Structure 1
Amino acid sequence: MFNPLWCYHCFVGVVMFLTFVGVIMVFSSSSITMLSSDKSPWSQGANQAMFCALGLLLCALGAHIQPRVYRGLSGILLIISWFVQLLTLTPIGVEINGNRGWINIGFTTVQPAEFMKLAVCIWMPLAVIIAKSRAADTRNNNSYAVPIIMLGICCALVMLGKDMGTTMIVLIIGVIALLLGGMPGKWFWSMVMLAVVASTALIIQSPNRLARVTAAYTKCGTATGFADTCYQSVHAKYALASGGFLGVGIGNSREKWNYLPEAHNDFIFAIIGEELGFVGTVMIVLLFVILGWCLLCVALQATDRYTAMVLMCIAVWILGQAMVNIMVVIGLLPVMGVPLPFVSAGGSSLVMCLGAAGVAMSMMRQQAQIATATDRLSS
């Protein structure tokens, strides 16, 4: 279980399997929605397969780029992510479900915040390593202000598009990187308090967000909540309950017949539960746990601090986002529009998750045992 080479191959296998399951489930869960929109029932699934191919190419490319290249380009990647995110506020920006987080590039729409997650995973470890080194030299912790301010800019840019769910994921990645980099406790708790105050203010000033939060914890048991803000959450639970232990079978979901909104996107876990049952949902959860475990095991044995921190940041991103998505589906969190990594429909999310997997593979290959085995396979 702690063998780095085993972890590497297991990580690759889990990523491939989750991606395969995602394509199959997107085909299954989107067919009725596509027919209702006068499109081919296969169109959404075909798009997912196309983005899967693109993501796998990016993954393969990313796996063969040396970590020193990522380290050298980390600042440029972060600035590019800012620029692309700002494009959502221009005329080519697209608003979907109240969030202005996409840009129209002609043949499809792209969600820049997904690229920002990866950029933060690559840049923040280097920034906090430099900050810790300067703090040790000067005996002054003010050096941590730079990565904190840059993280704040990232969150602010995403929040300008009213996407609180993605903002939360970016913030979690950054805060974990700061903790791993030795940020003083008083700075951490100050950030936590600021995040709580800011989140509360953002929820209160938005009627839609406030309605989702209050409905999730107070109104979902009432007739008013069922018919209004809780509709999506209630039908997600119906789907999970209908699946039983083994599910109703792939393609046989009832909730995908336009009862459950976003069945192929943020609520695909509910359709997995309905069609594959309790066994299917447990399998998905275990796969994410194994993925995170493999990243953590290699990170803890890495000799290079930057490599270890990038692996941990990617683990926090994938596991954290999966946890938030699943908790939303089962009703423990209010609806916030966070996709299930590798599985939910959405080209930007899938391509960037596979890109992150490629970066992780590159970092893992710095471990001597993995490097020897992979070099032997490629020769």
Structure 2
Amino acid sequence: MASVPAGSAPADSAPGDRKGAGGPRARRFGPRERAVAAVGLLDRPLTSYYLVLGCTVLLVALGLTMVLSASSVEQLQATGSAYTLVQKQALWLGIGLPGMWLASRLPVKTFRAFAYPLLLLSMVALALVLVPGLGRSAWGATRWIDLGPVQIQPSEPAKLGLVLWGADLLARKERLGHLTEWRPLLVPLLPGAGFLVLLVMLGSDLGTTLVLLTIFLALLWVVGAPGRLFVGMAGMVLLLVSILIVVEPYRMQRLTGFLDPSGNTLTSSYQSVQGLYAIASGGLFGIGLGESRAKWDYLPHAETDFIFAIVGEELGLAGTLVVLGLFGLLTYAGLRIAKRVQDTFTRLAAAGVTAWLVVQAVINIGAVINVLPITGIPLPLVSYGGSALIPTLLALGMLLAFAKREPGARQALSARGPGPVVRALSWLGLARR
């Protein structure tokens, strides 16, 4: 057999098989191959888990930064410290993030066990808001219970309560085969949700009313309500919202200001116009973090309802697109969880939480960019406020727990090995590897 000269390739090998410019190590993937690889990443068992976790962490970090920037001038004038609100927000995060971690490790039966108590407590708290001396009104709505140094907004945990209760109720009915007709489908879901919405409506909180009604419709859609029934419920929701707008003069002023902002620039449209000025001045990449001019007493409630305007001013179009992209990925992850899990309760709860967060973000951002009327609800995870932040983090922790129930997710987590906390404890001799 003939020998091969040293340093040369075998006769049956191609030049591209050797290391070098054309070899496999130097192979460059084209756009099509990269797109296929990216799609392949989305098919992994833990994709939903990491998307929810990553988007949550990034939005929370951005929110803490923007709360500091948006509130610094006002708080410096009011309290002598620019860090007053961001310190409170950090405190809420210190409660919410461990709660999120704990929720991510709970079994599904625990969430179902909390459904009825949480809904009942939310109803009681919403009723207390209407008691003179306990409830606190601001900007046309009575939303808070005044407990001295702390103010609680019960309508925020009520969203989570409605998701859990509605999902548990419909899951039980489906297991018993009671969802073939409209009456078992709507009773007692419609009266329960209606009573919760009524309590919120009595506090003149239109924004939260819209979110609660969205959760109700999302549950009906996912459980497979007949088309005529769903359209009828959607029409009833639109009629109810129209009545709420007509009966309150300040809501009509907001609506007319939205339809004709140029005619009310110093009254009902002032906040909306200032928000548009802030976003427009940001350009492509913003005027710089912390350099906002709108927060110097021009834009009201910059750290809550209109924090997206400060993002656009300081970080520009690039910053706003990042926020939209993160909410888009969070939406994809939530819907992916709802599609892939097998349990009915898990599917309904995941869809309800996703609808809640997405619609609330759309309403907030739509109001800031003047494509929707102002309703006064915060941007999830970004705006200041512990009453909204903590239930939202708990809901996202629940989504993480549901993501672990996707096909192949538990096996992938087991193969990943111990987490950093366990590894650190093992290094200290406090846990087994």
Q: Is this a same-fold pair by TM over 0.5?
A: yes
Q: Give the Å deviation of 1:68.
A: 1.0
Larger-gyration structure (1/2): 2
Secondary structure in 2 matching 1:95: strand
Spell out structure 1 runs of 4+ moving beyond 6 A: none
* Counterpart position of 2:38: none
The residue number in structure 2 matching 1:118 is 160
Quote the Cα distance in structure 1 between the aligned partners of 2:180 and 2:220. 17
Quick one: distance in 1 between partners of 2:178 and 2:309? 52
Pick from 96, 112, 116: which aligns with 1:71?
112
**Which of residues 177, 202, 220 in structure 1 aligns to 2:244?**
202
Offset, 1:242:
0.5
Q: Which has the higher contact order (CA 8 A, sep 6+)?
A: 1
TM-score, L = length of structure 2 = 0.83
State the AA in 2 paired with 1:242: S
Per-residue deviation, residues 82-134 of structure 1 (Å, max 9, x unmatched): 11111111222111222111112232111111100111111111222334455
Report the AA paired with residue 258 of structure 1.
D
Paired residue for 2:54?
13
Report whether the alignment pairs 1:216 with 2:255: no
Q: Deviation at 1:187?
A: 2.3
1:153 counterpart residue number = 195
Deviations 1:136-174 (A, max 9, x none): 458532112211111111111111111000110011011
Q: Is the 8 A contact 1:125 1:310 kept in 2?
A: yes
1:266 to 289, 305, 316: 305
Shift in Å, 1:58: 1.1
Q: Which residue of structure 2 aligns with residue 96 of structure 1?
A: 138
Q: Structure 1 counterpart of 2:369, which letter?
A: I
- Using the alignment, how far apart are the partners of 1:131 and 1:245 within structure 2? 51
Q: Which residue of 326, 329, 332 corresponds with 1:290?
A: 329
How big is the shift at 1:76? 1.9
Aligned counterpart for 1:30 among listed residues 65, 71, 74:
71
Distance 1:256 1:328 in 2: 18
Asked if the contact 1:4/1:297 (under 8 Å) is kept, the reply is no
Contact 2:97–2:393 at 8 Å: present in 1 too?
yes
C-alpha spacing 1:374/1:151, structure 2 compared with 1 (3 Å):
same
Partner residue of 1:3? Answer: 44
> C-alpha distance in 1, partners of 2:107/2:121?
20
1:54 aligns with 2:95: yes
1:70 is displaced (CA, Å) by 1.1
- Structure 1 residue 331: deviation in Å? 0.2
Task: Give a deviation string over 1:337-360, Cα, whole Å, max 9, x none.
Answer: 010000000111111111111111
Paired residue type of 1:265 = T
Show CA shifts across 1:234-282 (max 9, x none): 0000000000000011110000001000100010000000000000000
Partner residue of 1:344? Answer: 383
Task: State the partner residue of 2:3.
Answer: none
What is the DSSP-based 3-state SS (H/G/I as helix, E as strand, rest coil) of the residue aligned with 1:4? coil
Q: How does 1:316-327 map to 2 (within 5 A)?
A: 316-327=355-366
CA contact (8 A) 2:135 2:144 kept: yes
Scaled by the length of structure 1, what TM-score is found?
0.95
Distance 1:200 1:174 in 2: 18
Post-superposition shift, 1:368? 4.5
Which position in structure 2 is the counterpart of 1:247?
286
How far apart are the structure 2 equivalents of 1:122 and 1:374?
A: 26
Q: Are the structure 2 counterparts of residues 373 and 105 from structure 1 closer, same or farther at C-alpha, using a change threshold of 3 Å?
A: farther
> Considering only aligned residues, what root-mean-square deviation do their CA atoms show, in Å?
1.6
Give ranges in structure 1 of 5+ residues lacking alignment. Answer: none
Which segment drifts farther, 123-132 or 106-115? 123-132
Identity of aligned residues (%): 33
Match for residue 192 of structure 1 among 226, 234, 256: 234
Partner SS, residue 221 of structure 1: helix
Partner Cα distance (1:360, 1:33) in 2: 36
Which of these residues, 220, 224, 230, is aligned with residue 182 of structure 1?
Answer: 224
Partner Cα distance (1:364, 1:167) in 2: 28
Unaligned runs of 5+ in 2: 1-41, 423-433
SS of the aligned residue for 1:270 comes to helix
- Tell me the SS of whatever aligns to 1:358: helix
Residue pair 1:176, 1:313 contacting (<8 A) in 2 also: yes
User: 1: distance between equivalents of 2:166 and 2:413?
Assistant: 28
- Equivalent residue for 2:86, pick from 20, 26, 45: 45
Distance 2:189 2:43 in 1: 32
Aligned to 2:370: 331
Aligned partners of 2:136 and 2:146 also within 8 Å: yes
Q: Distance in 2 between matches of 1:149 and 1:340?
A: 29
CA contact (8 A) 2:337 2:402 kept: no
Amino acid at match of 2:257: A
